[in-house]
Every structure is written in structure tokens, then in C-alpha cells.
Structure 1
């Protein structure tokens, strides 16, 4: 049922992608503001209480709903899985942005490519070269593939019903939403625990995604870059994904980029040639091969479990 639910959810999301801003982020923002209004006094310990209240309540309700539906009929439980996965994964949104960027670069429409990468990253890249745009697009794709797909799948498999996928998506949102407000005086350290909690939840999935990139790409270069470069990136989790992904693809990522009117210094990730539209196509192939590998592992585990019974 796990593998079938994932495949069905991805197919539906591909055919009819969801508006994440309207149906996912808007309700989550309302939930986050609800917690802030009732718990936030600027202290990290109250942020921890709010985080645990949200996670335990959502996890309990989703797990309970799954088990009730399972006892009514397993098909209803599977439908519940598919619905939650549909709302927690955003594979089609990733491929849409990436495909549009790739097409713009191939057509020589640098201004449009700069606009698209700016919308995707929520930063201005009006002075970026085509190489910088391709490099940034590959970086965003590798990180988004992990956070929108592979990590969601990991937690979906690990916890009962769809509660794992739901909790990971919620934890990721709290980290992103409250990290943006870290500098506000009235917000204080309320979001500090959410950041540390998400880093803990993402610790193993990040490394599994990096290992999968290595297996389906250039294994030797991916492992070398992972070990030699990942720690240099400001966010170590992203550094692991970019170093292993760049090594697996044979492309240079990171490095200085034009951003919001200035040059942002960044360490070099990966190894090989400069990024371009062709490497963007290779990135799509890497992500799809990783997804196939995940499905293959799940299928083998399912067969092993069936044989064991």
C-alpha cells in the first residue's frame, strides 16, 4: 500500500498540480499565527512548547484518522494516504519552474531566466549570468527534490499512516516561517527550537538523499565532494546535498553569484564543468533516477516482507 499510495499521489500531483500558496502555505501560516498569538513571549522555551503542541496534536489526529479508516476499509486508509501526500509533496511545482528556466536559457532569453530564478528563490538576480542562473537552478532543484519528495517519502514510510509526511512538512514550514522573523524584536527567540528540531528531523533523510544521488550518479566524485566540501556551506544540510549532487553530476555549484545588487561569496561545491542548460537536463535525470531507486527499494522491501510472511 505504501508504494502504491506514493505512485498514485505523484501521478495525481503531476496531472493536476496543487496551488501550494493557496491550499498549503495559507492554512499553515494561519496555524503558525494561531500558535504565536497564544504562546509567543519571545522566549525559546515557549517556542518549544508551541512546536510540541502542534506536532503531537497533528500527529495524533492524523494517525487516529488513518487507523479508524483502516478498520472501516483499507481502501479508505489508502485514499487518506494519497490525499495527505498530494498536499505534502510538490514535485510538479519543482519541475515546472525548472523546465521553464531550462527553456528560457536554451532560447537565449536571459532576462526571463533571471526573472524566473528570482521568483523561485525570492531574491533579485537581475545581474546574474546564464551560468549563474543555471547553477542556482540546479542548486534549488537538488534541495527542493529532497525536501519536497525524498524526505517526505522517508517520514511517510517511518511513521504510521501519513502522519510522518504531515509532520515533516509542518516542521519544515515552522522552520522556514519563523526563521524569517528571527530578527524582529517582538518575535525574539520563539522560532529557535523549531529550527533545531527540523535540523534533527532532516539529519538522516539528508544523508540518505545524498547517498542516493551518489549511487545513481558519479559515485566516486559525489562521495569525494561530500566529504571534502559539504562542511564549508553555511547550512550544512544544504551543503551535503549540493556537494554530493554536484559531484554526482560532474558540475560546479556554489561560487560567487550576483544577488540583490551585490556579489555574494559562496564556497565551491561539486566538481567538473560550468553549469548550463545541458547540466540542468542532467539534473532532471539524476532526480528521476533517484526516485526510481527509492521505488525499487520500497518494492524489494515489500516483496521481502511478503515472502517473510
Structure 2
């Protein structure tokens, strides 16, 4: 049944994308800000308490509603799972940025591509040339695909009903909302959410990298994954970028312009410098990896059915 829910959620999202910022990110942001204002004293323990409070409350409420619906009518529980997965997982949550950047570069509108990339990544991209914009967009797409699709699918399969999808989405959000903050005023409050997400994403990120390797250039993807991923500041992102770059045959990472300076970054992947043509290849890689995951789930389901 889980596979059916996943496929239906993906199909519905292709027809009518969920306005995730309105219905998911903004409510979560307001709730996270309220809890932060009440609990943040700059210490690690307060971050642990806040992360646990938000994660447990969201997943607990989801589990309770799902359990009640399951006891009343399984069809209602199925519909609830579909709705929650539709809200928490989706290829098109951020893919419109990638598509618009691709179109802008094709039309030679570099300034527009820079603006779109800056909005998407939250970083200054005004000094980036066409190759750098392409490279950064591919990097953002690979990480986004994992967080919005593959990681959510893994936990949706692992836990009952839609609980896993909510667990992953909330944890990922807190990692970006609290864990990414490094300012002194914020203190150590965000370390807990960063460590928590690193733990629950440990296996999913490696399965995503494996999927990239299988549907792309396997040897280069695995080699880059083994030799380069540890060089990246964020290990999970390093795994995705090194395996994805190797699978595509494109060099990612490398120095980038930010705030008027050239920021040094290690090379991820291998092969040619980033060109616009690789953006279409990135879309193909993401979709092939998704199809591979769905096929694997289908085969596991068939094997389980035959065994019984």
C-alpha cells in the first residue's frame, strides 16, 4: 500500500503542485520561532528540548490521527497518508527554480539566472558567471531532490502511515531553520537539530547516493563518493554532490563567488566543467533514480507477497 500512496502522491503533485511554502513551511516557521523565543537560552540543552518538543509533537499528532482513522475506516487512513505525503514530499517543491534558471541561461539572461539562484539558495550570486551558476544550480538540485523526495520516501516506508514523512520533513526543516545558524547570539541552540537530522539522514543519504550511482556512471560515482565526500564541510551534502557529480560526469564544488570574495571549496565529482547541457542531464538522473527506488520497492513488495 505504501508504494501506491507514493506513486499517487507523485502523480497528483505533477498535476497540481502543493504550495508548500504556504501550507507547510510558513506554519512550521511560525511554530519554530515561537518555541525558539520561549526556550532558547543559547545552551545545547535548550536546543535538545526544543527539537524534541517540535519533532515529538508533530509526529505524535500525525500518529494519533492516523491511528484513529485506521480504527474507524482504513480508507480514511489511506486518504490521510496520501494527503500528508503530498504535503511533505514532492519533486516540484523547488524544481521550478531549477527550470527557470535553465531557461534563463538558455536565453542568455545571466542576471535573471543569478537572481533566481540567489532566491533559491539564499546566497549572493551576483558575481557568478554562466558556468558557476550552472554548477551551483546542479548542486542545489541534487541536495533538494534528496531532502524533498528520497529521504521522505525512506522514512515513509519505514514507519507506520505518514509518521515517517512528517518526522523527516520536520527534522529537515529544523536543520535548515536552526541547525544552519552560526551566529554568536543564537549560541549552541541549533546544534541539537543539526545532530538529530544528521542521525536520521545517515542511511537515506547513502541510499540516494547509491541510486545516483546505479542510474549514472557507477564507477566514477562510487570513486568520487569514496575519495571526495569527506572533504565537504557537510558530510551528507558531500556524499550527494560527489556521487551525483561522478554519476553525471561533471565537476561540482570548486571555488565560488560570494559577497565579493572567492570562497574556496573542494572539487566534487569528475569530468567536464559545468555547462548548460548538464542541467537536463541532472533532471534525467533525478528521475531515473526515483524510478529505480520505486522499482526496488515494487520488487520487495512482490517478494514479500510471494513469501507469504
Give the corresponding residue for 2:289: 290
Matches within 5 A, 1:13-32: 13-32=13-32
- Structure 1 residue 184: Cα displacement: 4.3
Deviations, residues 227-247 of structure 1 (Å, cap 9, x unaligned): 111111111110110000000
Deviates more, 1:66-75 or 1:224-233: 66-75
Matches within 5 A, 1:127-206: 127-185=127-185, 187-206=186-205
Alignment root-mean-square deviation, CA = 1.4
Matches within 5 A, 1:115-134: 115-134=115-134
- Structure 1 residue 181: Cα displacement: 4.1
Question: 1 CA distance for matches of 2:261 and 2:241?
Answer: 22
Give the corresponding residue for 1:10: 10
Deviations, residues 166-209 of structure 1 (Å, cap 9, x unaligned): 01111111111113544142x32222111111111111111110
Give the corresponding residue for 2:267: 268
Q: Does 1:73 align with 2:73?
A: yes
Question: 2 CA distance for matches of 1:74 and 1:304?
Answer: 24
Q: Does 1:56 align with 2:56?
A: yes
Q: How high is the TM-score relative to the length of structure 1?
A: 0.96
- Structure 1 residue 73: Cα displacement: 2.0
Q: How high is the TM-score relative to the length of structure 2?
A: 0.96
- Structure 1 residue 82: Cα displacement: 1.2
SS in 2 for 1:263: strand
Give the corresponding residue for 2:229: 230
Question: 1 CA distance for matches of 2:259 and 2:11?
Answer: 37
| CA gap 1:107/1:37 in 2 versus in 1, 3 angstroms | closer
Number of aligned positions between the proteins: 308
Deviations, residues 51-82 of structure 1 (Å, cap 9, x unaligned): 22222222222112112212222221111111
Give the corresponding residue for 2:104: 104
SS in 1 for 2:233: coil
Paired residues of 2:180 and 2:190 also in contact (CA < 8 A)? no
Q: Does 1:214 align with 2:227?
A: no
- Structure 1 residue 214: Cα displacement: 0.4
- Structure 1 residue 216: Cα displacement: 0.6
SS in 2 for 1:123: coil
SS in 2 for 1:303: helix
- Structure 1 residue 19: Cα displacement: 2.2
Question: 1 CA distance for matches of 2:51 and 2:118?
Answer: 31
- Structure 1 residue 282: Cα displacement: 0.6
Question: 2 CA distance for matches of 1:72 and 1:307?
Answer: 29
SS in 2 for 1:93: coil
| CA gap 1:182/1:268 in 2 versus in 1, 3 angstroms | closer
Question: 2 CA distance for matches of 1:121 and 1:190?
Answer: 23
In the alignment, structure 1 segments of 5+ residues that lack a partner are none
- Structure 1 residue 113: Cα displacement: 1.2
- Structure 1 residue 35: Cα displacement: 1.8
Give the corresponding residue for 1:301: 300
Question: 2 CA distance for matches of 1:87 and 1:182?
Answer: 29
Question: 2 CA distance for matches of 1:153 and 1:245?
Answer: 19
